[in-house]
Amino acid sequence: MLAWILPSVVASAQSSDRPRLTTNQAQIEDWMRETTLAIDDPMAVFAFVLASLPGEVTVYPSEGYYYFGFSHGGVNYSGNIRLDASDRDAGALHFAYFEEMADWRGETPTRYRRLDATQGVAVERLARLVYRVTHRDKSVVFRLNDLSDVKPPEGAVAPHERLIGPMFDESGLRFFLVYNPRVKNFHYVLDETARVADAFTPVARRDRILIGKRTGFAFYRDHRRARKILIGVFDGNARVNNHLDGPFDQLPDSIIEGETLREALIEMDPTLAGEIDRFGGSPDGEFRYMIAPYLHYAFEDELHRFDRCATRRRGGAEAAYYRCFVTKRREDGAMPGPPREQGRKPGKGR
């Protein structure tokens, strides 16, 4: 996933509950600055990123990605430091950065390193979901997002469905990942137990379809349960792999219990047996199964089919009704990036 560049915040004595002002002036001046950085050297860039952080940071996304961005030589770069649930307790982290993608230029090369003590990077567990990262003379404490107490409202998950866990996407939206064995697929249910960091507008003449004004995420107001199911992500965001490309890469890794996710994935696709770990990843860490049962849409009328289907089937069998909200991936994979197995996403780098 990409981080994103925001113009610098204007410092002021304004009350903290007022909006933060950003300016194009600050952004332009950042682009025009003469900067020195060995951009082709991942260790030099990692040292720069770590040195630029405060002594303590909060990692909101639930797969442990801490996203960042910077400008150098007139180019915007994005990247992430990831404290992966699979190996952070073994003293490792994952570092990646790349020139920001755009529709007109497509995929850009990623520079990636798995870092541990052999590269002079110490990752120390201080407490549950709290880690100190040290390189050279700089230490930063990373506090991962603890969602263990987040529970869905009563009735939001059907008795036969399996709650995989709560999620926090880098878009700022929270979800509950739910497996529905009757359709052998997953639903991303919007978490409304806390303030939702978006505002929604209904689609004309299809008022059960709601689109986020900021995120472009499209939801359907379920006829049968008091919940909103994710049905679409704007295709332009998915193609440039930015922070609004969908929640597929922020699964609830820190609180997945035992084999819950792996069992659901194998039930959905038996060919995965023996091919994935309990997080849905390949043994070599190169791939992870992509759970993306939603549409990448370019125009809102593409979302109408969900309402037509759900309205027609709302009084019928439950399995037939909930199949309305599962979208099979397009033949081209519907996601940007280097060639990879259908239905999977990159592993450590992005």
Q: What is the pLDDT along the chain (350 residues), one digit of tens a residue?
A: 544 444 455 554 556 789 999 999 999 999 999 999 999 999 999 999 999 999 999 999 999 999 999 999 999 999 999 999 999 999 999 999 999 999 888 788 999 999 999 999 999 999 999 999 999 999 999 999 999 999 999 999 999 999 999 999 999 999 999 999 999 999 999 999 999 999 999 999 999 999 999 999 999 999 999 999 999 999 999 999 899 999 999 999 999 989 999 999 999 999 999 999 999 988 877 788 999 999 999 999 999 999 999 999 999 999 999 999 998 754 333 333 222 232 334 444 44
Whole-angstrom distance, CA of residue 202 vs CA of residue 211: 6
Bridge partners of 176? 166, 189
Alpha-helical segments (H) within the chain: 24-32, 42-52, 235-239, 260-268, 304-313, 318-322
Report pLDDT for 350: 45
Whole-angstrom distance, CA of residue 247 vs CA of residue 62: 10
Report pLDDT for 287: 84
**Alpha-carbon dihedral of residues 190, 195, 199, 203, nearest 10 degrees?**
30
The position carrying tokens 């990123």 is 49
Whole-angstrom distance, CA of residue 53 vs CA of residue 138: 9
Q: Which structure tokens are listed for 331?
A: 């033949």
Whole-angstrom distance, CA of residue 110 vs CA of residue 130: 27
Report pLDDT for 332: 37
Report pLDDT for 238: 93
Report pLDDT for 341: 34
Nearest to 288 by CA among 297, 296, 298, 279: 279
**What is the value of pTM for the model shown?**
0.89
Query: Can you list the pairs that 208-212 forms with residues at least 24 positions away whose Cβ atoms lie under 8 Å?
Result: 208/307, 208/310, 209/300, 209/303, 209/304, 209/306, 209/307, 211/300, 211/303, 212/173
User: Are the CB atoms for 140 and 53 separated by under 8 Å?
Assistant: yes
Residue 205: DSSP 8-state:
T
Nearest to 49 by CA among 32, 31, 69, 29: 69
